[in-house]
Amino acid sequence: MQNALQIMSDSGLLQTIIMAILTVVVIPLINQGHKSAKTAKTANAYTTLDKLAEGAVAKLATEYDMPSGVKHDQALQNISTQLAKKGIKSIDTQDIDMAIEKAYQYFTSLDTKAQAKQSEFNDGLANADKESQKAVTTVPEPNVEAKSEVAEPIKVEASADPEQDSLDKLRIAIASAQKILAEKEQAQGGDKNA
């Protein structure tokens, strides 16, 4: 057998056979293993992304007064930060957006306490807005013209001193303004601090 290997080696046939085996069998196996490793690494990265997105969406679901856009931006930032800490750089913002949407769709398909509370919060906001609008429409507009007609004009006799005339006019204007404010307060219920 050693003699046969020596003959094949001397003729170059052994090298040809070894190259053929490497080209046909070994190199494709190495490439397949490399692709599998990349695929597994990518799959693990996206599994991690999905878990981070679910966690971020679940956490932000309890922030009832935060607008949806702000929640999304905060989730995007948190997930990007956590991926960077884990050394995962192959996932872009668009993939993170899709993972957030996927997690959001998952959580909205569930009947969770957070969803019930968010719905209750939204209903309360809507009712408060309706009541506020009703209150605004039922407050009567002050009729300044009618009040000024009711108010008796204060007559001031002209004096020889122009400075005194200016002071008197200023006092009259202040008195008229105070009278209008008093009438307005009385129309609103008399509470000055309201």
- Asked whether residue 116 is domain-assigned, the answer is no
How many CA within 13 A on the CB side of residue 58? Answer: 10
Residues 80 and 173 both lie in one domain = no
Give the pTM.
Answer: 0.44
Q: Which has more confidence, 7 or 86?
A: 86
Last residue of a domain, one of 67, 93, 111: 111
Residues 90 and 148 both lie in one domain = no
pLDDT tens digits for 29-58? 777 776 776 788 888 888 898 999 999 988
The count of structural domains within the chain is: 2
Q: Which range marks the domain in which residue 37 is found?
A: 2-111
- Asked whether residue 66 is domain-assigned, the answer is yes
Residue with tokens 């695929």: 39
Question: Are the CB atoms for 121 and 64 separated by under 8 Å?
Answer: yes
